[in-house]
Amino acid sequence: MEFYNGDISNGEIEIQSTEKKYGTPYFDFYQDKVIFPNEQKGEYTRIEPRSEGVAILPINSDGQIVLIRSFRHAIRSFSIEVPRGFMNKAESPAQAAMRELKEEINVSAADFIYMGSTHPENSIMNSQVHQYFAHNIIWNSSNENHSDGGAIDTTLFITKEDFNKMILNHEINDAYTLGLYAKAIAFGYL
């Protein structure tokens, strides 16, 4: 996909030049010199992920929402959230969703409903995350998760009522999780 520099004549911020400042296995960091629609010049930092992502809202046979409690380095705290992750090369979004459920909550199979995609950090990052609702879950017989680094502390099974209380009590504040929950309600899945 070709990168779009923007056009100030359309009211957009136009990139005049860009410089890659840093790269990791997951992200590239750029500094862009831009011109705003009012013709003032400025700079923006932009992050480009190396792959798209997936986020999944799994529901078990009892109608409970399945979440994980994971330590997040950036916020230096535990977060209650949906399973999610990056897509591997040559992997479809649905394949990535299934792999993430296997790795993070030990699921061997599930039925997926695609709920579209989102750009969760669109002010600084050009990330696209595919969103799924997962049901008819089949669990593996072992209890271990196979995620990288072992940052997942536990798997939680939460009713819709308890989920709502956890939002109001600021126990669930992950944007991916809140967005998927809102979409599932809007689509009538919850």
Burial of 24 (0-12, 13-18, 19+ CB in 10 A): exposed
Average pLDDT over residues 28-38: 95
Rounded distance between C-alpha atoms, residue 150 and residue 113, angstroms: 28
Nearest 5°: the CA angle 87, 151, 71 is 100
Tens digit of each residue's pLDDT (9 = 90 or more) over 72-124: 999 999 999 999 999 999 999 999 999 999 999 999 888 999 999 999 888 89
Q: pTM for this structure?
A: 0.88
Q: What is the mean pLDDT of the chain?
A: 92
Give the model's pLDDT for residue 13: 94
Coil/strand/helix, residue 104:
helix
**Residue ranges of domains in the chain, CATH in brackets:** 8-49 (no CATH), 53-187 (3.90.79.10)
